[in-house]
Amino acid sequence: MKLILPCMTCFQELGKPTFEFATLEFRDDGRYEVCCSRGHKSVTILQQQKFEVLFDIGANAIIDGYYREAISSFTSSMERFYEFCIKVFCVKRKLETDVFVKTWKEVSNQSERQLGAYLFLWASEFGEAPELLSSKDAGFRNSVIHKGRIPTRDEALEYGNTILNIIRPKIEQLKLSCSEEISTVTFEHIRSCSRLTDGQVSGGTMCANTIVSLTSGEESHNKQSLEEALSNVSKYREMVSNTQSITI
C-alpha cells in the first residue's frame, strides 16, 4: 500500500506538473517528506485520520492474501475511530488540549477504557448507546488476534463489511452533529505534522480516496461493499505500479 506524490515546488516554478512522482509507504504520523530530482525538499501532510488509513491497509491485506492481518487492521481501524470520536466530543465540550492529552495518557494503553469513554460520550451526545460488534463477531476477532485462528478470505470479507456497517453510519451521524469539531480535530492533526526543517518547504495537504471516508460526499462511495471497494483498490495499485516514480 503506497502513496504517490508530485513535487509541488516544481509545479510552482514551472507552472506545470513534471510527471515525476515519489512513491512512499504509509507512515504512522501522516507526514511525507519528498526530495525530487531537482533537489526540492517538501513536506506533505495526509489529511486522512488513522482509522481511515488502517481500514485501507486491511483491504490491501486481503488482496495480498494476509487475512489475519486484515482482521487486525480492521479492528484497529474501529478502535481508532473510537479515539477520533472521543477527540471530537471533547472539542465540542471545550476541553482544554493539555487536559485531554493528560487524560488520554491514562487510557492510551487500555482499549477497554477507551471503549468505555467512547460509549458514554456517544450516549451523552446522541442519547443512545452506539452499535458495537456482536458477541459472535467479537469472539471471532479474539480468536484470530489472540488465539492464532487463521481466517478464510470469506471470513475476512465478512468481518470487514461488519466494521464498515458499524463505522459508516456513525460518520454520517457525527458529521451532522459535530461538523465544526471534526474540522478542528482534522486541522489540529495537520498542524501537529506540519513542522519544517532547514531546506524544506510545505507541500500542503493531500486527501486520499479511502474506503472509510470523512471527506467523501458521494453516496455511491459510502455505500460500497468491501468487495466493490477492493476492485477500486486493485485498480489504484496497478496505476501506482505503472507510474514512473522515484522511490523515497
Tell me, yes or no, whether 210 and 147 share the same domain. no
Q: Please report the DSSP string for 9-30 in residue order.
A: HHHHHHSS----EEEEE--TT-
Task: Evaluate if residue 247 carries a pLDDT over 50.
Answer: no
Write the pLDDT tens digit of every residue in 131-160.
999 999 999 999 999 999 999 999 999 999
Tell me, yes or no, whether 82 and 99 share the same domain. yes
Backbone angles phi, psi at 33, to 5 degrees: -100, 130
**Residues in a beta bridge with 31:** 45
Tell me, yes or no, whether 25 and 70 share the same domain. no
Q: How many CB atoms lie within 10 A of CB 196?
A: 12
Tell me, yes or no, whether 187 and 200 share the same domain. no
Q: How many domains is the chain partitioned into structurally?
A: 2
> Which of 149, 169, 192 is the last residue in one of the domains?
192
List Cβ neighbours of 80 (8 Å cut-off, separation of 6 or more): 49, 50, 51, 54
By the 8 A CB rule, do 164 and 226 touch? yes
Q: What is the pLDDT of residue 25?
A: 85
Tell me, yes or no, whether 30 and 60 share the same domain. no
Q: Comparing C-alpha atoms, which of 49, 109, 101 is closest to residue 80? A: 49
β-strands 41-46, 31-35: how paired? antiparallel
Which of residues 38 and 66 earns the better pLDDT score? 66
- Cα separation, 222 vs 202, in Å, equals 31
Write the pLDDT tens digit of every residue in 222-236.
788 999 999 999 988
What are the cell numbers at 17?
A: 506538473
Q: Comparing C-alpha atoms, which of 74, 236, 237 is closest to residue 151? A: 74
Q: What is the pLDDT of residue 244?
A: 56
Tell me, yes or no, whether 101 and 162 share the same domain. yes
pTM: 0.89
Q: Which 3 state secondary structure label does DSSP give 60?
A: helix
Q: What is the pLDDT of residue 217?
A: 64
Tell me, yes or no, whether 28 and 125 share the same domain. no
Tell me, yes or no, whether 35 and 122 share the same domain. no
Tell me, yes or no, whether 145 and 198 share the same domain. no
Q: Which 3 state secondary structure label does DSSP give 201?
A: strand
Element (H, E) at 46: strand 41-46
Tell me, yes or no, whether 97 and 124 share the same domain. yes
**% of the chain residues with pLDDT over 70:** 94
What are the cell numbers at 72?
A: 487486525
Q: What is the pLDDT of residue 166?
A: 96
Tell me, yes or no, whether 178 and 188 share the same domain. yes
Q: What is the pLDDT of residue 194?
A: 78
Tell me, yes or no, whether 209 and 98 share the same domain. no
128-131 long-range Cβ contacts below 8 angstroms, 24+ apart: 130/170, 131/166, 131/169, 131/170
Range of the domain at 76: 50-192
